[in-house]
Amino acid sequence: MKLIPPTVIFCLLFCACAGGNIKIKIRPDLSGDLVLYQKKITKKPSGLFFGSGLVPTGELEISIKERAYKFSNYTHILPPGFRFIEFTEDKTQEIQLVVDTSQSSPLLKALEINKAEIDSILNEAKQRDDLLRFNTLVEFIQFEIQFPFAIKKVKFSDPRTPGEWTVRLDSAEKMVVNIPLHSVWNNEHQLTTIQIYPDSN
């Protein structure tokens, strides 16, 4: 019987880790920084006292964890689930970001992304207007890459669902890629290659 209260408290407490952002900044010598941002949401059934006449009904906490790394050359790094390849073909320089987007991608484990937890967050967000913005951050893995040179064009090497899979230039040197988690879990694409063309002018 002594184990019942902790078990009840554990069941009432909701905690989940959401989608992740990967930010990479490359310097002119090709070294740089890689930072992972992971979002977490924790919900408790009751909150702190906030004055007489008020009955606390719940407390929700949204937090972001940051993990930072340094590298000496971005084409030499081998993080779980993605890598960069650089080559020249017919005098045209191309950089490729190759991402394992299969349902068994090691990137999901590295970012601590769990389908059941994401579904719980989305169900909570649908009930609350104040979580709609957080909701949009949950459903994707996002790469944000800052290059030390101008980029002319970025695109997926194979067709992807418009509006869900996105790759764009936010500025001449900054690329953003969004990978929808539902597509990864459904195993729609085993591998995703983003082609990046530096501006030679």
* pLDDT tens column, 107-166: 999 988 877 777 776 666 666 655 545 545 568 899 999 999 999 999 999 999 988 999
Beta-ladder partners of 36: 22, 67
Least confident of 19-23, 80-84, 150-154: 19-23
Give the pLDDT score at 131: 52
Q: How many CB atoms lie within 10 A of CB 9?
A: 11
pLDDT exceeds cutoff 60 at 96: yes
Mean pLDDT of the chain: 84
Element (H, E) at 182: helix 181-185
Q: pLDDT: is 20 or 27 the higher one?
A: 27
Q: pLDDT: is 116 or 93 the higher one?
A: 93
Proportion of the chain above pLDDT 90, given as a percent: 53
Give the pLDDT score at 18: 55
Q: What residues contact residue 84 under an 8 Å CB cut-off, 6+ apart?
A: 74, 75, 77, 95, 96, 97, 98
pLDDT exceeds cutoff 80 at 6: no
Task: Say how many residues make up the chain.
Answer: 201
**Residue 110: which of 59, 37, 5 has the closest Cα?**
37
* Inter-residue contact 102 to 190 (CB < 8 Å): yes
Provide the pLDDT confidence category of residue 64 given band limits of 50, 70 and 90.
Answer: confident
Give the pLDDT score at 126: 64
- Dihedral, CA atoms, 180, 182, 188, 192, nearest 10 degrees? 20
